[in-house]
Structure 1
C-alpha cells in the first residue's frame, strides 16, 4: 500500500525541515494512538505554535518584509482573540485532502501569506511537532464578506435608549409636549431637524398666534413666513402693534394664508391697506371677535362688509377709527344679530343719526357698550338708546315700562353733553348693570345718581371722577344701596365736595372694596383709619389648622390719596401700623376664639400717597408682605421720629434740630443697608437724603 505523507509547506518555498526530517506513514487498520502519538499532546503543540507566531511577530526585520494591509473582514466574529484562520490558496489539507478554501495565519498586523510583491522572498516557517493536528480545516457557516459587528458599551446603550424614547412615543404626546413652548421657542427648535420642523409647525400648535409679545424682536419677513406656514391652522390671530406688516405684499401674503380665523386683532396696524383688510374679512366669514382699533383703513364700507360677511360676530372694537361714523355702527347692528360687545370710542355722528340709537334699542343684545369720548352725543340720542323712541311710563311711580336692558358694562366717559335728564333713564331698566363709568360728565348731580344706585343691585365698578356737583348725599345713598356689599372698585377722584361725612359710611358698609381712588378730595385721616378697621375686621377668620403655618400677608385694598390736603403723615402712619400689627384674636359668639390671618392670610392695605412719603410706604409694605413684621415696625418707628423732628425743626429751627433730622436719616439708611460704599453695617452719619424717604 502506498504511503501517505503529511507535510506543511508554505506556497512558493521549499519543504520545511520538519517535513524532511521524518514523514509519518499511515497504516490502514492500525491504532491511531500508536501511529500518531503526537496527537495526544494537542495542548502542548498549540502552545508551541502560538509561541512561534509570537516570535515571528516580534521580529522587526520580518515585520518590515512581510507586512501587508489588514483584512477588511474576518470570518470569525469573536472580538476577544486577535488570531484569525483563513485557508490559503493551493494549500493542501493536513490529511492529504484538497481544501475548498484557502487559509493562513495572522497575528496582529503580521501575516504568513506571501506578499504580492515579486521581489519579496518567501518566509520559511519552522516545523513543530503535532502541527498537523492544529491545521485542521474549520468550516465557516457564514460568508467571509459578512460585516463585523461590535457590541456597544452599556453606558452608550442606555443613552441610545433615552434618545430613542422621543421616536417611540406617539405624535399626539409630542404635540402636547411642544404645546408648552412659546412661539419664539418653537421657531428656534424647528431648526433641529426636518422631523422637528414638521412637528413645530403642526397646525395643533398654531391655533393661537399672539405676536404682541415678541413682535419687536422678530423681522418682518420672518413673521410673514411663520404666518404663511401656520396660517391655515390659526384660529386666534393677534397682531396688536405689529408695524412690520406695513408692506402691502406682506399683508397680502398674510391674508392669503389666514382663512380660518375666529378671532383677530389688528390694533395699531396703521399701514394696513383697505383692500387687504376687506379681503381678510371676506375670507373669514366665521369671525366671532374682531378688533380694528385705530385703523385708518376702516370706513362705513368696511362696516357693510362686516355686516354681510360676518353674521356670527359677537365682539367688535372700532374705537378711534376716524374714517367712519355712527352709520357704520348701524350697519353692523342690523347685520350681526349676535353682537354682545360693541366698543366705539371716539366715533362721530351720534347726534345727527337717530337711527343708530333706535338700532341699539331694538337689538337689546348688547352686554357691553363703550361710547367714551363721543362728545357729540346728546340727551335725546341716549334716551332713545335706553328707553326707545316712544317710551311709556307708569302713572303712579313715573317709572318707564320699557323691557329691561341686558347691559352689564356702560362707559360714557367724556360725553360732556349728557346731563341728568338722560342719565336718569338708566334707573330701573338696567338691573344687570355691573360696571358704570360716568367720569367727566360735568353736568351730573346727585338727583341722577341716587335712583341708579337704588335699582342696580349687581354694581361692582363705579367710576365717578371729575364730577364737581356730586356731594356727600350720593355716597350716603351708596352705603344704603343694595349694591353696597358687592362694590369692589370706586373712583371719586376730583370730587372736591366729598369729605369724611360721605366716605365713612361707605367704608363701614362696602366691605368688599378692593380699590378706592380718592385723590383731590376733602377726606382726612379719619377715612384712612376707617378703611384700616374695615380691612382688619374682614380678615378675621379661623386658622386653617393648628399645625400649618399661616400664609403670608397679601394686599386686598388699594387706596389712592394723592393731593389730599387734609391727609397728614399721622394718617399714613395709622395705615402702616395697622398693616404691621400681629394677627388679632377675639371671642366669637359661640365661644371659639377667632384669629386674624387664618385661611386666606393677613390682609393689608396698599397705599398711594404724597410722593415724599411714598418710598417709606413702599419699603414698609414690602417688609410686611415678606412676613418681616418686626422690620416693618422698626421702619415706621424711625419714620415717625424723622417726621417729628421735621415738625420741630419747622417750628423752632436751629442747628441742633437740623442735626437731629440728618441723624434720623442716617439711621434709616443704615436699616436698609444702602450706603454709598455699597456695603452693610453701621457707618458715620452723612448729611444725605433718607434712602427710605
Structure 2
C-alpha cells in the first residue's frame, strides 16, 4: 500500500492579491487551505471570492486579524455570517481587528448580530455602500440578547436607558449594550440609515476616532449625531458630506468649552472633551451652518487642519480666520475647501494668496503628470502667476477662484512651450547641410534623422517629439 502523501503548508502571514483578476476560485482556496498562519489577507475586488471562501477562512485561518473583502461581487452577507456563527459554535472569538466589506450585499440583522458577538476585537469596520444595511442591523451589532452571558468572555457591557437611545417611553426601561473597540467606522452611502443608527451606537464606541457617514442626505438629522459625538471624546476625523440637516447645534457639540487659565485640555484632572482631538471635518452641503459656528469651531479645536464646506454659506471671514490660525499654530498641510460658496469672493482669495496654495502637491514619480508648481524647480515665471504647491507650510485653499490660478499657470507654460517650438523651427530652417534636419525639398517639412546619420525605421516626414514630453522624471538610460 502506497504511503499517504503529506499535505504541505506555507508560512505566509500576509497575502495581497488585489488586482489579480485572472485568479480562479479553486486556486485561491488551494492557497488559503495551506496558509494556516495567515494574519493579513487582501482580496479586494476579486471575482474569485465566494461565500465558500469565507467558510474556508473560518476553518483554516484562525489567526486572521485583517481581512479586506471590499467589492467582492460574488459573495454576500451569508459568508460573513458563517464565519461568525462558526466561531460562536466553537466557543471562540474571531481575532479580526480590521474588516472591510464595502458593497456587501444582503446585509441584515442576523449577520450583524452574529458579527457583533463573534468579533469583539474589531477596531476598523468598513460597511460603506451596504445598500440593505438598516438601523436595526446597527443596533443588532451592539445589542446583547436576553440571557446572553458575555462577562466571562471579557467583553465589557453597559446599561443604557431608553431615553439615552432617543426613544420616547413612559416606563423606565434599560438595554444592555456591548462596548466595542471600534476606532474607525465607515457607514457612507448606506442609504437606508438615519441618525437613529448613530443613537444606537452612542454608548458602544467610546474609542471612536474616524467616523464616515457621507451620502445619506436629509435623513441624517442632528439629534442622533449629537448623541453619538457626546460620547466619543477622541474623535479625530468626521465625514458628513451631503448631510443637509446638519447645522449650528452639531458644530457646537464638536466645539470644546474654553478651559480655565492654567488648565490644559489634556489635564488628568479634566475629562477629555469632544473636539479636543478633531483634525478634519467634512460638512459639505450643510446649508444650515452659519459663519459664527464655524468660527467658534476653528478657534476651539486646536488640532483642526482640515475643513471641507462645499456648497455651504461659508463666508470670507471663515477663510481668513482658518488661514490665520493655521499659520499661528504652525500646522502642516492645512486645508480648507469652499467650492460653490457664494460668500467667498475673489478679492479674499487674492488677499490670502501669500499664505495659500490651490493644490496640495508632492514630489514623486506618480505625480509627474500633475505638473505641480514647486519653487525648488526654479520656475520664476510660473511663481509670478501661481503659488508654490509643494510648500507644506502654505494652507491649501480650494475655491472656484483659486483653481483659476492652476489654469493660468498651465496656460503660461503652454504659451512658453509654443514659443520655444517656433524658435526651434526657425533655427532648424536656417541650418547648414550638416544639420540633423533635412527638409528634402518637400514643402519645408522636416525629416527626423537618428544620431548615427541614418533615418530610423519608424520615422517619416514628421518632426521629433519635444524634449519636454520626455522630461517627466528620472529615467535609467
TM-score (norm. length: structure 1): 0.46
The residue number in structure 1 matching 2:211 is 436
The residue number in structure 1 matching 2:436 is none
The residue number in structure 2 matching 1:417 is 192
Q: Does 1:606 align with 2:396?
A: yes
The 1:302/1:673 distance shift into structure 2, 3 A limit, reads closer
The residue number in structure 1 matching 2:299 is 508
Q: Does 1:376 align with 2:132?
A: yes
What is the CA–CA distance in structure 1 between the aligned matches of 2:353 and 2:234, rounded to whole Å? 33
Q: Does 1:402 align with 2:170?
A: no
The 1:393/1:258 distance shift into structure 2, 3 A limit, reads closer
The 1:322/1:383 distance shift into structure 2, 3 A limit, reads same
What is the CA–CA distance in structure 2 between the aligned matches of 1:491 and 1:292, rounded to whole Å? 29
The residue number in structure 2 matching 1:312 is 63
What is the CA–CA distance in structure 2 between the aligned matches of 1:323 and 1:268, rounded to whole Å? 15
Q: CA deviation at 1:576?
A: 1.9
The residue number in structure 1 matching 2:457 is none
The residue number in structure 1 matching 2:113 is 357
The 1:502/1:274 distance shift into structure 2, 3 A limit, reads same
CA contact (8 A) 1:330 1:355 kept: yes
Q: CA deviation at 1:497?
A: 2.6
Aligned residues: 340
What is the CA–CA distance in structure 1 between the aligned matches of 2:19 and 2:396, rounded to whole Å? 34
The 1:615/1:675 distance shift into structure 2, 3 A limit, reads farther
Q: Does 1:393 align with 2:135?
A: no
Moved more, 394-403 or 429-438: 394-403
Q: Secondary structure at the match of 2:31?
A: helix
**119, 122, 136: which is aligned to 1:366?**
122
Q: Does 1:270 align with 2:270?
A: no
The residue number in structure 2 matching 1:330 is 81
Q: CA deviation at 1:298?
A: 1.2
CA contact (8 A) 1:361 1:384 kept: no
Q: CA deviation at 1:533?
A: 2.0
What is the CA–CA distance in structure 2 between the aligned matches of 1:316 and 1:397, rounded to whole Å? 34
Q: Does 1:448 align with 2:224?
A: yes
CA contact (8 A) 1:576 1:617 kept: no
What is the CA–CA distance in structure 2 between the aligned matches of 1:355 and 1:678, rounded to whole Å? 65
**15, 27, 32: which is aligned to 1:281?**
32
For 1:166-181, what aligned pairs fall within 5 Å after superposition?
A: none
Listed as ranges, the gaps of 5+ residues in structure 2 are: 1-6, 88-92, 147-157, 166-173, 258-272, 358-390, 422-477
CA contact (8 A) 1:575 1:605 kept: no
- How well do the aligned residues superpose, as a CA RMSD in angstroms? 3.0
What is the CA–CA distance in structure 1 between the aligned matches of 2:304 and 2:250, rounded to whole Å? 17
- Deviations along 1:440-484, whole A, 9 cap, x unmatched? 122111101112221111111100101111112211221137232
The residue number in structure 2 matching 1:290 is 41
CA contact (8 A) 1:525 1:570 kept: no
**329, 341, 346: which is aligned to 1:538?**
329
CA contact (8 A) 2:181 2:207 kept: yes
Q: CA deviation at 1:494?
A: 2.2
Q: CA deviation at 1:411?
A: 0.3
**334, 343, 348: which is aligned to 1:571?**
348
For 1:522-671, what aligned pairs fall within 5 Å after superposition?
A: 522-539=313-330, 555-578=332-355, 603-610=393-400, 613-616=402-405
What is the CA–CA distance in structure 2 between the aligned matches of 1:271 and 1:673, rounded to whole Å? 46
Q: Secondary structure at the match of 1:366?
A: coil
What is the CA–CA distance in structure 1 between the aligned matches of 2:63 and 2:392, rounded to whole Å? 47
The residue number in structure 1 matching 2:261 is none
- Deviations along 1:543-580, whole A, 9 cap, x unmatched? xxxxxxxxxxx843012222212111122123224459
Q: CA deviation at 1:422?
A: 2.1
- Deviations along 1:513-545, whole A, 9 cap, x unmatched? 222222111101011011022113213xxxxxx
Moved more, 393-402 or 510-519: 393-402
For 1:142-153, what aligned pairs fall within 5 Å after superposition?
A: none
**462, 465, 476: which is aligned to 2:238?**
462
Higher-Rg member (1/2) = 1
TM-score (norm. length: structure 2): 0.65
Q: CA deviation at 1:344?
A: 0.7
The 1:257/1:364 distance shift into structure 2, 3 A limit, reads closer
CA contact (8 A) 1:460 1:483 kept: no
